[in-house]
Amino acid sequence: MHAPSAKSIAWLASTLLVVALAVAGAASAPTAPAAQASAYDVLITGGRVVDGTGAPWFAADVGIRGDRIAAIGDLKGATAKTTIDAAGLVVSPGFIDLLGQSEFNVLVDNRAASKIMQGVTTEVTGEGNSIAPMNERLFADQADAFKHFGVTWDWRTLSDYFRRLDERTHPAINLATFVGAGGLRTYVIGKDDRPATPAELSRMQDLVAAAMQDGALGVSSALQYMPDRFASTDELVALASVAAKYGGVYFTHIRSESGQMPAALDEAFEVADRAKIPVEIWHLKTAYKPNWGRMPEMLAKIEAARARGLDITADTYPYTRAANGLDACLPMWVREGGTDKMIARLRNPADRERIKREMDDPASPGWENQWYGSGGGDGVMISSVLDPSLRKYEGMTLTEIGQAMGEDPRDAVMDLVIADRGHSEVVISIMREDDVVKAMQSPLVSFDTDAGAKAEDGPLAESKTHPRAFGTFARILGKYVRDEHVLRLEDAIRKMTSQPATRVHLEDRGILRPGMAADVTVFDPATIRDVATYADPMHYAVGVRYVLVNGRPVVSGGRITGERPGRALKGPGARR
């Protein structure tokens, strides 16, 4: 018997490899034999499956048992308690909002209505300030909202909050959160502009460790705002290093989104490098007219950091106007120390004159001059207030409000901040469309709403908001995918599903595969669109037909159901 030649050995190895690949392919292919007739809780038939990976859509049925996807493929002959006819519709993983801001709102209205009606099944939150840990000092800042909406504060740790969410709140969506560096500063130090002492920093690190063990995704910062802005880079590295030990990530609203943006990005890169942690830039933008057209430069800077081995990504929303607190139109020194100190300064005539000078000074140091960058009163519109007596100003610019009050728009800003105790929110005109599109098209960028859930009725309908709370995901799929062909459908879905899930280590979500969580969105690609506008934002998106969260329908036939199957989703530190 002759020994096999090298050529025959190579042929045999090649053949075995082909067979192995074929077997593996058969095991992972999105098909199931018709003979596999089985009973499912939910069967979605005849749809175009966009599985979240970026792969082209394919025709298949989706079978669900309990809270898991059981099968994908040709499921003819299968029976189910509920069958959804998805002919002509797209079946995708549920959308993941990478900055949702609903941690308090779901305690007020557990429907998360404006989110589920645009296909969101999971929300990530905790920008700089997080819902926990909470102490008396942090609660005092939010006591007006708790009282107004009748919410009882009965948690201190993130574990306590998650328990309330799962056992009492029962939200329609899943919710995951970061622990916020700004909240930790307030918890330990207060809102004074000073460095943390070694003992204070150690205490903040202990709180990060506890939150990570409770299930935080990582640590976050909002460095344009107080008190996060008072943190040094060293402080941020110290906190992020603790999160990294638990497999966490660092998400940041960088220190500048305008003229100092290159340096602000460098700071984020430094945290990534020194803390050995993945970093995400929240709601990437190039703000204010002098910086319009600079998005390609900023994206190139992120790509260069990645080429050096730093794990940097970003997310964005599809609008040219942003939103935040009206008090962000005031210099940082005015806001330092908290609400009562801020109001005292705003009532001081000499301070008011200084404030007005600095609001009109583009070189005013120490803050992002939002007032000047938005074009003054014409570019700042009141979107929501807490005090019902101020509702008449919602939807009006500060120029219009100043005229109604018979005073300078800058004085109107200060008087409204006093009257609403800093709770008023604004929409600000600060971006240009081509920059928004460039960010959306980058493979490094996924999506967020940067807005809390609202509703067309109920307590969260009493005050207005930015239209992104209602329209973000539908706007992307309607305007930018279908109408303008800015994005390929499969790429847009990937940015809404598997990409964010991977970023925050939600390992069983974001892809349609057997064994994965049954978070599913079914929409009509021909009709999906946003309806909310800046002037009239309180309208649900249209075109989303079904939304399943953990296998149960929270939207059916385009209508909100009574199901509330959402749950707290915990980060890697709690799963160890």
What's the rounded mean pLDDT across residues 505-525?
Answer: 98
Asked whether residue 273 carries a pLDDT value surpassing 80, the answer given is yes
Give the pLDDT confidence of 463-509 residue by residue, as tens digits: 999 999 999 999 999 999 999 999 999 999 999 999 999 999 999 99
What's the rounded mean pLDDT across residues 119-126?
Answer: 98
Cα separation of 400 and 468, whole Å? 23
What's the rounded mean pLDDT across residues 182-190?
Answer: 98
Predicted local distance difference test score (pLDDT) of residue 214: 98
Instruction: List residues bridging with 325 in a β-sheet.
Output: 425
Cα separation of 357 and 471, whole Å? 37
Predicted local distance difference test score (pLDDT) of residue 1: 37
| Percentage of residues in the chain having pLDDT higher than 90 | 93
Residues 6 or more apart whose CB falls under 8 angstroms from that of 164 comprise 107, 154, 155
DSSP secondary structure letter of residue 2 = P
Cα separation of 329 and 414, whole Å? 9
Cα separation of 325 and 310, whole Å? 32
Predicted local distance difference test score (pLDDT) of residue 439: 98
Predicted local distance difference test score (pLDDT) of residue 37: 53
Reading the block at residue 368, the tokens are 């992002």
Residues 6 or more apart whose CB falls under 8 angstroms from that of 288 comprise 258, 259, 373, 374, 430
Cα separation of 555 and 560, whole Å? 4
Residue 189 to residues 142, 192, 421, Cα–Cα distance (Å) = 17, 7, 22
Contact 200, 155 (CB under 8 A): no
Task: Please state the separation of Cα 93 from the chain's center in Å.
Answer: 17
Q: How many CA atoms lie within 13 A of 514 on its CB side?
A: 14
Contact 518, 495 (CB under 8 A): no
Cβ-count burial 87-113 (b if 16+ within 10 Å, e if not) = eebbbbbbbbbbbbbbbbbbbbbbbbb
Contact 538, 529 (CB under 8 A): no
Cα separation of 531 and 54, whole Å? 27
Cα separation of 119 and 167, whole Å? 24
In the chain, the amino acid numbered 258 is S
The CATH number, out of the four listed (3.20.20.140, 3.10.150.10, 1.10.600.10, 3.40.50.150), of the domain defined by the range 95-323+431-519+527-545+556-574: 3.20.20.140
Radius of gyration from C-alpha coordinates of the chain: 25
In the chain, the amino acid numbered 62 is V
What's the rounded mean pLDDT across residues 410-432?
Answer: 98
Cα separation of 130 and 107, whole Å? 14
Give the pLDDT confidence of 296-318 residue by residue, as tens digits: 999 999 999 999 999 999 999 99
Predicted local distance difference test score (pLDDT) of residue 575: 75
Cα separation of 353 and 42, whole Å? 64
Give the pLDDT confidence of 375-396 residue by residue, as tens digits: 999 999 999 999 999 999 999 9
* Residue whose tokens read 């779901």: 106
| Burial class of residue 459 in the structure, from the number of CB atoms within 10 Å of its CB (0-12 exposed, 13-18 middle, 19+ buried) | middle
Cα separation of 343 and 330, whole Å? 12
Give the pLDDT confidence of 21-42 residue by residue, as tens digits: 333 333 344 444 443 457 999 9
Q: How many CA atoms lie within 13 A of 572 on its CB side?
A: 16
Cα separation of 354 and 360, whole Å? 10
What's the rounded mean pLDDT across residues 395-413?
Answer: 98
Asked whether residue 12 carries a pLDDT value surpassing 50, the answer given is no
* Residue whose tokens read 């009109």: 360
- Of all helices (H) and strands (E), which one includes residue 208? helix 198-214
Give the pLDDT confidence of 127-177 residue by residue, as tens digits: 999 999 999 999 999 999 999 999 999 999 999 999 999 999 999 999 999
Nearest to 271 by CA among 232, 230, 215: 232
Contact 184, 158 (CB under 8 A): no
Q: For residue 514, give the 3-state DSSP assignment.
A: coil
Cα separation of 202 and 188, whole Å? 10
Can you give the three-state secondary structure of 162-178, one letter per residue?
HHHHHHHHCCCCEEEEC
* Residue whose tokens read 């709601």: 283
The total of other beta-carbon atoms located within 10 Å of residue 386's CB is 20
Predicted local distance difference test score (pLDDT) of residue 121: 99
Residue 144 to residues 7, 96, 317, 337, 458, Cα–Cα distance (Å) = 80, 30, 29, 18, 19
Contact 368, 257 (CB under 8 A): yes
Average pLDDT of the chain? Answer: 94
Q: Is the pTM of this model over 0.85?
A: yes
Instruction: List residues bridging with 123 in a β-sheet.
Output: 97, 175
Cα separation of 528 and 125, whole Å? 25
Predicted local distance difference test score (pLDDT) of residue 34: 42
Give the pLDDT confidence of 205-226 residue by residue, as tens digits: 999 999 999 999 999 999 999 9
Reading the block at residue 224, the tokens are 């344009």
Predicted local distance difference test score (pLDDT) of residue 80: 97
Task: Please state the separation of Cα 134 from the chain's center in Å.
Answer: 21
Predicted local distance difference test score (pLDDT) of residue 38: 74
